[in-house]
Structure 1
């Protein structure tokens, strides 16, 4: 072999080795969180801005990117940001909820550092303390597939984020006082799309939110970032091809409209195949006695034709929504950044080691309204649960497993205390979410995706397992529970940390309808969980304590 060819192969070998060992790319952000004034429903009110924007800026990332985000809190109260659906593998330290992180004090900053590893799809971020979410501070977070991973549809002409949500005209501090004094939030004042109601103060259409070129196809990432209301989303005269939800590629069914429950995101492809003009997007309340609709305009490039005033009605009843959920299936042949490529993770054949049945309820405790799971209404201790556990002083401020795997009798009193369930590392657990109430529920689990196995009316029994989808249910991190119905999910608890299972109905979350799941690796190894970050904020009981010995390989 000639020296030139030897040199070429040696250089190529070094290139391959360097590529293998190259660190994944970093994305850097600096965010200033501040108050501002906006009038989304024609009434000036205080909102939370990120870098002067309401809603906040999109985070546009790619699988395995490292995100380094320096957040400055310019509010007059503590603040935390959480990343809805980003799994934070081995890294609960960056989860940004009161059970894991000390709040960022006013006038100070904190740098989040996490990796969007083994994920693709549509997510969002939002403030997790008190009622901040009702004031804004949220925005889209997308994780694109790496170029080496084929996506099961052609590249769209553009990629749009659509944030739909209910909105209250009372400020977040006023809403918090309502709940603290035992009042309900009541009905929202309106529905917004990307911070707009669709009409100005004179009742005229606002400027278009998006544009499309005739004949081209666009991706719309639709997230319900609200606090209370399921919404039905549709686009006038256009079909929607569902391609992804909550980080999983789906079978590509076509829909006229989609129910998007609180905390959920879906991606659809929409082709500009109609006569050039303006067309309404509409988001309408579901499962409520009142009907509220927010609109936004999609404009074909160069159009001067106004939209038709006839907006298709939203569907009625929960059976329609339930049947739509049954039509969702995982795309098992699509490559994706996930631990189970090509659908090889056969979740239906894994033995269930434990079943936890959680029933939501409401009541009055010491003259104040509370919500609970299995009779326990969660309250956060002064020191985050994760820090108490890490420093070895958990027994001083809370007790594990005050919630049992089966609910108490329906007339049992509600107790108010920290609620933490211990889950054995790497066990496959079935969780039944049973809703005896007339309102719809929505639940999210931090740090994980799970498999929604089945849903049904009434109470769950072991016979309900015969109705489970054990082949291709869509892996996701948020799931609804219909009125007087149950939903069953299952997952392997293989992500060490302290993780929040909460109601997405923020009034209920605020008043206790949540818990934490403690997943501890017996090995206490860096293979399973990262050490506490050097910049971690400390508060409460751990401020003056020495750091425990670090985990090692």
Structure 2
């Protein structure tokens, strides 16, 4: 009997110990941001920019998989403010995605604490403001998610880790640019290209990045711009591609990389040349006039100024699209590398899953009330006063928006740009079934390249091809080792196919990363609802969450269960 009691007590202690381990929280990282205006001269001319803690670009969020991120944001601008965490999946938590369709903005002169977890993710991302046209004033910064120590990465730990935030830039203020778009005018050509907030380089500049001879460094390159794809190249050094937006890739070497709007790539650079200073070059792609900026990267004790002979930009003899498309095809998922969880990336055989729904989205332009608008399948999105996610949660959707204004197939009238067809301006929300495996076709009938980002998920970019999509085109899909990512470019008069499982309950945004297109309506939301209303599938609205619109004073819905 005493043995039985002793065994029971030991078993109880063992269970209690296990329970303690299970309930232990992942580490927390705390930040405080003071968001203000400041005056800088990124292109040599003083202009108003958005600073975070007096920095432009803003501070890097340096985290590890499963960390909890807590940011107390003080809005000292004169307008409402939101930030999105571009590429962070916000598992079960679209409340914190930082978009006007999901979250009430932070009012001027107030603060709000954002809380999210970088759950089961690794990779290179960035953040930026989503309200008004604030992105045109800056307010962006890098966001790194490192692998946990117990999960190996498929390359030696680099001797250094650098953020390279590149993108085009306008010398006009963000308020002037917003005025152009509100009046129906497009933004036109940018004025320059910035590398980490700087667009004017002199031969006497100190290196932006410094390396030691013989060592290897990781450069996380993100295109945080507004209009153009950017080609990046390192003078006299090859880039070994190792990661795209959270996925380890087959490690091919490149002389240059096309980084399209919203995309992030990690490359390794080995300091195996003469100890000198060199130029990192960023130039626009697919533009009549090429805009170029440079930054100095050098070796410790480097000798003298870098060579003024820049490495040439790629071209296939025409506009470079065929070259760029072939480069996309060269990107491959590293099937044997570990993912954020301790299992190989290639253990998820996406090509063997039956597709339950195909959604074709034609991204085109048109007019409403005589003004320029951009749309998906003829509907140009507008954000209502009450975020759609908030209205849905309180059961007030019918007072704010209608579901399924667009169909899964674009209307035959969609032809592209300059056709003068009218578009419908309305909140654009499509119902989607939780855990369905879907195929989304992104069609670009226009004459310029476009790029699209899907929040809340990683998808398999199985094809980017010229022409018009048809079911027969599925024969061209990469169903084995397409890279899992969150942003995909679509070339002029071309299409892209992505495949994904809708396993993240919430309200999730699909948008053009071209600033004027997204601002003028080329975005939409997928409402992915768990029928069980369970905390296992989605978090409830936090008591500290800001309320606005019809949600103010509305009775709270019943709490979610634990099923």
The TM tier, using the shorter chain, reads over 0.9
Residue 117 of structure 2 corresponds to 115
Residue 395 of structure 2 corresponds to 392
Shift of residue 299 of structure 1? 1.2
Residue 4 of structure 1 corresponds to none
1:125 to 124, 127, 150: 127
Whole-angstrom CA distance in 1 between matches of 2:16 and 2:295: 53
Residue 291 of structure 2 corresponds to 292
Whole-angstrom CA distance in 1 between matches of 2:169 and 2:341: 35
Q: Does 1:60 align with 2:62?
A: yes
Residue 256 of structure 2 corresponds to 257
Matches within 5 A, 1:75-86: 75-86=77-88
Residue 515 of structure 2 corresponds to 506
SS at match of 2:358: strand
Shift of residue 305 of structure 1? 2.0
Residue 235 of structure 1 corresponds to 234
Cα deviations by residue, 1:120-159 (Å, 9 ceiling, x for unpaired): 0000000011110010100000000000000100011100
Residue 6 of structure 2 corresponds to none
Is the CA contact (8 Å cut-off) linking 1:198 and 1:206 kept in structure 2? no
Whole-angstrom CA distance in 2 between matches of 1:44 and 1:238: 34
1:542–1:16: structure 2 CA closer, same or farther, 3 Å change rule? closer
1:478 to 456, 478, 487: 487
1:525–1:308: structure 2 CA closer, same or farther, 3 Å change rule? same
2:539 to 519, 525, 530: 530
Whole-angstrom CA distance in 1 between matches of 2:543 and 2:341: 29
Is the CA contact (8 Å cut-off) linking 1:198 and 1:297 kept in structure 2? no
Residue 376 of structure 1 corresponds to 379
Whole-angstrom CA distance in 2 between matches of 1:379 and 1:11: 57
Shift of residue 16 of structure 1? 6.9
Whole-angstrom CA distance in 2 between matches of 1:74 and 1:530: 30
Residue 6 of structure 1 corresponds to none
Cα deviations by residue, 1:95-121 (Å, 9 ceiling, x for unpaired): 000000001000111111110001000
Whole-angstrom CA distance in 1 between matches of 2:283 and 2:367: 32
Instruction: Give the count of matched residue pairs.
Output: 543
Residue 305 of structure 1 corresponds to 304
Is the CA contact (8 Å cut-off) linking 2:44 and 2:200 kept in structure 1? no
Once the two structures are overlaid, the 10-residue window that deviates more, 305-314 or 253-262, is 305-314
Residue 46 of structure 2 corresponds to 44
1:403 to 388, 402, 406: 406
Is the CA contact (8 Å cut-off) linking 1:373 and 1:514 kept in structure 2? yes
Is the CA contact (8 Å cut-off) linking 2:151 and 2:342 kept in structure 1? no
1:449 to 443, 446, 458: 458
Whole-angstrom CA distance in 2 between matches of 1:324 and 1:141: 25
Ranges in structure 1 where 5+ consecutive residues have no aligned partner: 1-8
SS at match of 2:485: coil
Shift of residue 413 of structure 1? 2.9
Q: Does 1:248 align with 2:255?
A: no
Once the two structures are overlaid, the 10-residue window that deviates more, 313-322 or 337-346, is 337-346
Whole-angstrom CA distance in 1 between matches of 2:459 and 2:341: 13
Shift of residue 310 of structure 1? 0.6
1:16–1:398: structure 2 CA closer, same or farther, 3 Å change rule? closer
Is the CA contact (8 Å cut-off) linking 1:359 and 1:434 kept in structure 2? yes
Residue 27 of structure 2 corresponds to 25
Residue 199 of structure 2 corresponds to 197
SS at match of 2:151: coil
Once the two structures are overlaid, the 10-residue window that deviates more, 52-61 or 335-344, is 335-344
Shift of residue 342 of structure 1? 4.0
Shift of residue 365 of structure 1? 1.1
Is the CA contact (8 Å cut-off) linking 1:118 and 1:339 kept in structure 2? no
Residue 5 of structure 1 corresponds to none
Whole-angstrom CA distance in 2 between matches of 1:298 and 1:10: 59
Whole-angstrom CA distance in 2 between matches of 1:242 and 1:12: 46
Shift of residue 205 of structure 1? 4.6
Matches within 5 A, 1:203-222: 204-222=203-221
1:329 to 323, 327, 332: 332
1:14–1:521: structure 2 CA closer, same or farther, 3 Å change rule? closer
Q: TM-score with structure 1 length normalisation?
A: 0.96
Whole-angstrom CA distance in 1 between matches of 2:514 and 2:333: 26
1:247–1:126: structure 2 CA closer, same or farther, 3 Å change rule? same
Shift of residue 14 of structure 1? 8.1
Residue 520 of structure 1 corresponds to 529
Shift of residue 207 of structure 1? 2.3
Cα deviations by residue, 1:33-79 (Å, 9 ceiling, x for unpaired): 00001101110000000011000000000000000111010001100
Is the CA contact (8 Å cut-off) linking 1:198 and 1:205 kept in structure 2? no
Once the two structures are overlaid, the 10-residue window that deviates more, 159-168 or 541-550, is 541-550
Whole-angstrom CA distance in 1 between matches of 2:523 and 2:165: 24
Whole-angstrom CA distance in 2 between matches of 1:511 and 1:205: 42
Q: Does 1:422 align with 2:431?
A: yes
Is the CA contact (8 Å cut-off) linking 1:445 and 1:500 kept in structure 2? yes
Ranges in structure 2 where 5+ consecutive residues have no aligned partner: 1-10, 415-420
Whole-angstrom CA distance in 1 between matches of 2:341 and 2:404: 31
Shift of residue 81 of structure 1? 0.5
SS at match of 1:69: strand
Residue 367 of structure 1 corresponds to 370
SS at match of 1:283: strand
1:205–1:385: structure 2 CA closer, same or farther, 3 Å change rule? farther
1:176–1:351: structure 2 CA closer, same or farther, 3 Å change rule? same
